[in-house]
Each structure stands twice: as C-alpha cells, then as structure tokens.
Amino acid sequence: MRVLYSALYYSLLPLLVLRMLWRSRLAPAYRRRLPERFGWFPARRDIDLPAIWVHAVSVGEVLAAGPLVEALLRDYPQYRIVLTTTTPTGSERVRALFGDRVFHVYAPWDLPGAVRRFLRRTRPRLLLIMETELWPNMVYCSRAAGCRVVLANARLSARSARGYARVPGLTRQLLQGLDVLACQSSTDGERFLTLGLPATALVLTGNIKFDLALDDDLRTRAASLQRVLAAGGRPIVVAASTHAGEEELVLAAYREVRDAVGDCLLVLVPRHPERFDAVFLLCQQRGWQVWRRSANTDPMPGDDILLADTMGELLLLLGTATVAVFGGSLVARGGHNALEAAAWGVPIVTGPDMENFAEIGGRLRGAGAMVQLEDPARLGSCLLELLADPERRQRMGAAGVQVVARNRGASARLLALVAQQLRALE
C-alpha cells in the first residue's frame, strides 16, 4: 500500500508545486526555501551529535510544543533538537521562540527520496510528531533508519477517523509503525485502536495544551496594552483566529453591540496572514475606523477595530479581552484552541463547530467557562448578554482558570515517555 501511495504522491507532485506557487501570490514565503521540501538543505554543523526530531505543522502545534522543546533543550544537551514545520507562519514562530537553539527547516514532503535525504542530513534517533500529522513515508523511513517514532499529544476527530478508514490497509500499516501513541483522551484512543493501532502502543497522557503558562513578563505587557486599548473603560471583544466567512458574522455582531452599548473595541485576529489586507478592506467597507497593529502606533480617538495583522501576539491580545470569540467554529472549520483565553480567565464564545477541539470544548462548556452557540447569528445577542453581566463574566473566567489548572501534567507524562524511548536506544 505504501508503494502505491508513494507512486500517487509522485504523480501529483507537479500539482503540489503549482499549489505552493499559487499560494505564494498572497504569501510569498510559500515559494521560498522550496528545496527544503525535497530534503535539500545544508547538513547540521554538529552532525556527529544525535538528534531528537520534533515535527509541528504550524503555529498552534509550535506553541503547544514550546514547553516540551524547552524541556528537551534543558534535559538533553547531548542531543541536537531538530524542529520542523510545514507552514511559513509556523517557521516564523520557531525562529521567534528558539532562534538558533534548534535546527529548523521545513519538513520534507512525504516522498521516500525527500524523507531519506532529510534523515541523512539530520540523523534523528527519536521522532516526536505533534498531534495528527501522520505521513506514511515519514514514519516508515524513520523507523528504517533506526529512529523511534512517537505520536505526541495525539487527537483524532470523528471526521478524520472516517477519512483514515477509507484507506484501511495504509492506515493500519502506518499506525503499526509507531512505537508510542501518546493520546489526549480515551475517546481519541478508541478511534486509533479501531483503525489498527496496537493496544500496546497506546498511552493516555492528556493534552499538553493545558500546560500553558503565563509568565510575569507576558502578564505585565498584557496589562499595559489593556490600559491603552480600554481607554475610558470600554470593553474589548477579541475575535481570535477567524477564517473567511467569519469576519462578516463578527462584524454584524459587533454592529449590534455598538448600537446597544456605545463604545466598545473589537480586536480582530485573522487566522492566515495572507488575508490581512482583505479583512482590513472589509472592515473599512463596513464603515469602521480601523487601526492596524503592524503600524506600531497607539490607537487614535474614534478607532473602532484593532486589526491584529502581526504574528505571534494572540496570547498577548487575549490577555486584554473582556470576552473572546473563537473562529474556525462559526463556519465549518472544526474550531480552535480556546484554552489560551481560559488561562487568562476570559469568558469564551464559540460557534457550533468545535469538532477538532471537542474534548477541550466539552470541559470548558461543562464547567460553565464557554458558551457554544447553535446558531452563529446569535453572536451579537450573546455578546450583549455577557457585556451586561460582569458577575457572570467573572464566574465564567474563574471556571476557565480552574479547568486549565485541573488538567495540567500532560507535558511531564510525555517527557517521561521520551526518556523511556531514549533509554531503549542505549
């Protein structure tokens, strides 16, 4: 099955390259460093040192893996950390968080030749794949090179499970190539077992995203920014990680809020940087005065919307929020991680689609920290209810903080598994 899969991948390669070039019209970074996608890059200077390879697809996975990578750098100085991503935004986060403390390139496309070239240039002994970024040749070639493979912080939605089930032979072969699957929840674990994961490979560790820490510097910067944004005591609604089709819904809801309560600031954070200009124009067309975060100036009197057109600041901006709305849920995109707001004690509102974060959403909703709307059209009325009820907001925020605190510890359990796997290589 893997051979057929590889042949199909090779046949589609020209379309994949064209797609990258097409995306680069709006995001030029997609056409840069293309050789890395084929495993062509200068080998590590310290090639004699063994490596631990951490693969994190994009920004969310990089942020989730951040504390884990810091622990690996601290605990395993005899290993070089190789950290790969798939997207330019993920690459930017790696460089911002770790600089030259890790060896960073794009992950190779899942072609046998590209993966083998990557392995020869990095020589990993352990591969940690974050969440569900499973690729047959990545797993097979890594194992063939003597590298142990761990799927870390694994999750699998019902929708994704149905997709894997359409290719049962390939999926079973892929899952049987894992040494350990460290799973977020028993529900996710059952889905992996149904698809062919050996029961001996399954370990329930919990979700490392609950181990989010807000350091003193971040808290100080958030408090300072909040004083600027909340001038005159106005509330702040942060719409986080919005997708195409969601900004229209958010702006309609914001209109309802402004008509009813007067002054209020909307902080709008589009998910993808190539959409920043389009969202800016949309806000202007709707009659709003927009301040772009990238301008690096204080807001002007009368500014209605702060467009967060910078990278890596979502956690900071959520620390200023009165209420947070999470995108990816108002349209059918599976939602996004709302724990970043919960950690700040900020009340959370989402739309109906939170399939990709069902466990997190269920815990927050069950504790009363999150409102999940059945109809996105109700967003405006929901925001008005919350803004009019400070006691309810306080209860929701406190519940969110408790949810985060009660579920910490997955990172420590995952690090114990890493130590176990490295001992097995001795």
Q: Which residues are catalytic?
A: 61
Cα 196 to Cα 412: distance, rounded to the nearest angstrom: 27
Q: How far apart are CA 11 and CA 387, in angstroms?
A: 54
Q: What does the alpha-carbon distance between residue 385 and residue 347 come to, in Å, rounded to a whole number?
A: 12
Check the CA dihedral 281-284-288-289 and report its sign.
Answer: positive
- Cβ atoms of 270 and 242 closer than 8 Å: yes
3-state secondary structure 9-71: HHHHHHHHHHHHHHHCCCCHHHHCCHHHHCCCCCCCCCCCCCEEEEECCCHHHHHHHHHHHHH
DSSP 8-state symbol, 109? P
345 torsion bin: left (phi>0), alpha (psi -120 to 50), beta (else): left
Residue 110 CB coordination number (10 Å): 18
Sign of CA pseudo-dihedral 330, 333, 338, 341: negative
Cα distances (angstroms) measured from residue 42 to each of 35, 118, 146, 231? 11, 10, 22, 51
> What is the rounded CA–CA span in Å between residue 246 and residue 224?
29
Task: Name residues whose C-beta falls within 8 Å of residue 223's C-beta, 6 or more positions apart in sequence.
Answer: 319
Measured at the alpha carbon of residue 228, what is the angle toward residues 225 and 232, in degrees to the nearest 5? 140
